[in-house]
Structure 1
Amino acid sequence: MQNVMIIGNVGREPEVKTFDSGDQIVNFSVAVTEKWKDKQGQPQEHTEWFNCTARGNGLVGMIDRNVGKGTKLFVGGKLKTREYQKDGETKKAVELQVRDIEIIGNWKGDQQGQQQPQQQGFQPQQGFAPQQPQQGYGQPQGNYPPQQTMAQQNPNYPAADGSNWDQTNPF
């Protein structure tokens, strides 16, 4: 099973195409930027661009109404290579086929991070509501009980400091 997850900013306005059958598809790009320091301590940066495609009229409509250039998104899906003809040559393009999307920054047309009024009766549901960016990675979101070590959860598990070695050592 293939699963790709990215967080980045939309690089161009989503383009919606409607087929004769009434089915819709939306194409947009997302920029994901990595930042690090090299061995000399100098800041470095690299941006990778992902061409994204979403199908299904509900998902296409939500993206068309609420996502614009600069919107920060979480996008989940799978990579798919497609071939096409251009100037008599066969070309290949890799696309991220969107299965999941969450707006985590500005909504379309929003300059201050506030949710915009929804058009055509769309109400954000879980997974589509804007959220404020988190300061740290790996921080639990919501009301979760405090995490316990394995030794706290199971008294027969060796403690990290070895304090219960005599009780847990089977030899």
Structure 2
Amino acid sequence: MNSLRNSARLVGRLGMDPEVKTFDTNKKLTKLSLATSDSYKNDKGERITDTQWHNLVIWGAQAQLAEDLLHKGDEIAIEGRINNRSYTDKVGNKKYTTEIVVNEFIKLGAKA
């Protein structure tokens, strides 16, 4: 049951090519943005599409695979955990961000 705690599973399309950073220890970090969409009809019968953007972070061997295989517009499925963190920007302002640290991903298809 512990695997259900802080677990996120999403299917969507990539909004950018992988942004890769390699550290001194040769450890890799890949950042991506993922769009997920929901559609519904409003009270007037009009179809409304609601798109949410998610920041993805992938580490290690999975980061290398993401760099090699993924491109903007690809449809992927991911499983990971939600991570909230804060940092101080270049001007000294404290910023907060939410990201999904990806454990696994599957490339489902290319952009139609």
1:88 is displaced (CA, Å) by 1.1
Question: Please, which runs of 5 or more residues in structure 2 have no aligned partner?
Answer: none
Q: Please identify the structure whose Cα radius of gyration is greater.
A: 1
TM superposition outliers: structure 1 runs of 4+ over 2 Å: none
TM-score by length of 1: 0.60
Structure 1 segments unaligned to the other structure (5+ residues)? 113-171
Give the aligned partner of residue 78 of structure 2: 75
Q: Percent identity?
A: 25
CA distance in 2 between partners of 1:44 and 1:16 (Å): 34
Structure 2 partner of 1:104: 108
1:59 to 39, 59, 62: 62
Q: Which of 86, 89, 92 is the matching residue for 1:88?
A: 92
**2:35 equivalent to 1:31:** yes
One-letter amino acid matched to 1:62: L
Query: Aligned equivalents of 1:21 and 1:34: distance in 2?
Result: 41
Query: Are 2:38 and 1:15 aligned?
Result: no
Report 1:114-129 matches (<5 A): none
Q: Which has the higher contact order (CA 8 A, sep 6+)?
A: 2
Q: Aligned to 1:44, which of 48, 52, 66? A: 48
- Cα distance in 1 for residues equivalent to 2:82 and 2:99: 6
Shift of 1:101: 0.5
Task: From the two aligned structures, give the one with the greater strand fraction.
Answer: 2
Q: How many residues get paired?
A: 107
Cα RMSD of the aligned pairs, angstroms, is 1.2
Deviation at 1:95, TM superposition (A): 0.4
TM-score normalised by L of structure 2 = 0.91
1:1-54: per-residue Cα shift (whole Å, max 9, x none)? Answer: 111111100001111100001111100100001111112211101110000000
